[in-house]
Structure 1
Amino acid sequence: MLRRSGPIGTLIALLVCLLWSPASASAADGSCRVLAPGASAAAERAVEAACAQVAAGVWYTWGGGHGAQPGPTYGQVDPTDPASEHDPERLGFDCSGLVRHAYARATGSDILDGDASAQYYTHHAAERFTAAQGTAPLLPGDLLVWGTSRDLHHIAVYLGAGRMAEARQSGTKLMVSDVRLDGDYHGAVRIDPGPVTGHVFRTWGTGVWTKAEPSTASARVYAFPGPTTIRVQCQKHAEEVTADGYTNDAWSYLPDYRAWVTNIYVQGAAWLENVPACTF
Structure 2
Amino acid sequence: MTTRVDLLPRRALPVLRLAAFVAVLASFAVFFAGAQQAHAAPACGVLSSGAAPQANSAVNAACSLIGTPYSWGGGHGSQPGPSYGICDASNGAPNDCHVKGLDCSGMVRYAYDLAVGTDVINGVTTTQWNSSRAVARFYRGDGTGPLLPGDLVFFGNTPSTIHHVAIYLGQGYIAEAPYSGGYVQVAALSSHGDYYGAIRLYGPGGNPGPPGGGRYWVDTFANASVYGSPTSTNSTGTLYQGTNYVFCKAWGREIRNGSSFNHWWLKTDPDVGPAGQWVSAYYLSKWGNDEAKDNNGTVIPDC
TM-score by length of 2: 0.56
Q: Which is higher, the Rg of structure 1 or of structure 2?
A: 2
Alpha-carbon deviation of 1:182?
5.9
- For 2:65, which of 53, 64, 67 is the aligned residue? 53
1:145-168, Cα deviation, whole Å (9 max, x unpaired): 011112311100000011000011
Amino acid at match of 1:95: C
Counterparts of 1:97-176 in structure 2, within 5 Å, are 97-147=106-156, 148-176=158-186
Corresponding residue of 1:252:
271
**How many pairs are equivalent?**
191
Alpha-carbon deviation of 1:63?
0.1
Between the aligned partners of 2:38 and 2:171, the Cα distance in structure 1 is 10
- For 2:56, which of 19, 44, 52 is the aligned residue? 44
Conserved in 1, the CA contact under 8 Å of 2:150 and 2:167?
yes
Matched, 1:95 2:104: yes
Partner SS state of residue 187, structure 1: strand
Corresponding residue of 1:190:
200
Alpha-carbon deviation of 1:233?
8.3
Between the aligned partners of 2:214 and 2:273, the Cα distance in structure 1 is 13
Conserved in 2, the CA contact under 8 Å of 1:236 and 1:252?
no
Between the aligned partners of 1:146 and 1:198, the Cα distance in structure 2 is 31
Conserved in 2, the CA contact under 8 Å of 1:198 and 1:233?
no
Partner SS state of residue 150, structure 1: helix
1:203-249, Cα deviation, whole Å (9 max, x unpaired): xxxxxxxxxxxxxxxxxxxxxxxxxxxxx985579xxxxxxxxxxxx
Amino acid at match of 1:177: A
**Identical-pair percentage:** 41
Conserved in 2, the CA contact under 8 Å of 1:166 and 1:177?
yes
Between the aligned partners of 1:182 and 1:50, the Cα distance in structure 2 is 19
Partner SS state of residue 135, structure 2: strand
Matched, 1:65 2:84: no
What RMSD in Å do the two structures reach over aligned CA positions? 3.2
Partner SS state of residue 183, structure 2: coil
Between the aligned partners of 1:53 and 1:63, the Cα distance in structure 2 is 16
Distance verdict in 2 for CA 1:27–1:113, change over 3 Å: farther
Amino acid at match of 1:113: N
Partner SS state of residue 64, structure 2: helix
Deviates more, 1:157-166 or 1:113-122: 113-122
Between the aligned partners of 2:125 and 2:216, the Cα distance in structure 1 is 24
Between the aligned partners of 1:28 and 1:181, the Cα distance in structure 2 is 12
Alpha-carbon deviation of 1:117?
1.3
Distance verdict in 2 for CA 1:182–1:58, change over 3 Å: closer
TM-score by length of 1: 0.60
1:88-126, Cα deviation, whole Å (9 max, x unpaired): 121110000001001111111111110111111111111
Distance verdict in 2 for CA 1:234–1:133, change over 3 Å: closer
Distance verdict in 2 for CA 1:190–1:257, change over 3 Å: closer
Detail structure 1 runs of 4+ shifted over 4 Å in the superposition. Answer: 25-29, 232-237
Alpha-carbon deviation of 1:79?
3.4
Higher strand proportion (structure 1 or 2)? 1
Give the unaligned 5+ runs of structure 2.
1-36, 218-236, 243-269, 278-303
Corresponding residue of 1:31:
43
Counterparts of 1:66-85 in structure 2, within 5 Å, are 66-82=76-92, 84-85=93-94
Give the unaligned 5+ runs of structure 1.
1-24, 201-231, 238-250, 259-280
Distance verdict in 2 for CA 1:158–1:172, change over 3 Å: same
